[in-house]
Structure 1
Amino acid sequence: MRLLFEVSGVVRAPLEDVRERMFADAGESGPHRLVDRARGVIAYWGDWWYRGEDSLHPHPEGALLVHRVHNIAKQGNWAPYLANKLFIGYRARLEEGLRQRIAELEAQT
């Protein structure tokens, strides 16, 4: 498993409140999903290369939300770069998505 991207931001709300909101509709672990409420981690992956992971951590201003994207391809681990056009603009989309997610979590207070 190779880390490709990591973006993070602070949700300005108490950690336990954010954890409750984040897991409210997370469902349960399954074949392509890990839901670990105790550790504050939700991970999801496909059949080929993608694994996304959201995790919560304590922060002086509330809760730190970290999103990581991993390449989990067992063979042809170079191919996701071609399939995703060398990931051009990918980080910017991840950062925007994280900002939106943080705004949603903060709005639920």
Structure 2
Amino acid sequence: MAVSNAIGSNVFDILLCLGLPWFIKTAITEPGSVIPVESRGLTYSTISLFSTVIFLIVATHLNGWKLDKKYGIILLIWYLIFMIFASLYELNVFGYLNPPECPSPY
């Protein structure tokens, strides 16, 4: 159940929580419009998420489809690595991936 929840919640978030508002805007409210995404790091984040899902499935298979302490520690380490790389992407360590913040004082 935990593994299916970890994968299923991300799928739900991306397909419904992002897809539905974007569909409403481009199909109903403003037909033919586009949604600008202001992040060049989106490609790297998507690749990281797909590699995490693949790693999760492979690690579960190699562990005999059992959730134990060793498996939990491996997943925690993988999560820390993912969070470090996601933070470094957002901080533009790997190049200029994100636009600067708004200069407004508000």
TM-score, structure 2 normalization: 0.34
Higher helix residue share: 2
Mark the structure with the bigger radius of gyration: 2
Select the structure with the greater relative contact order (CA < 8 A; seq sep ≥ 6): 1
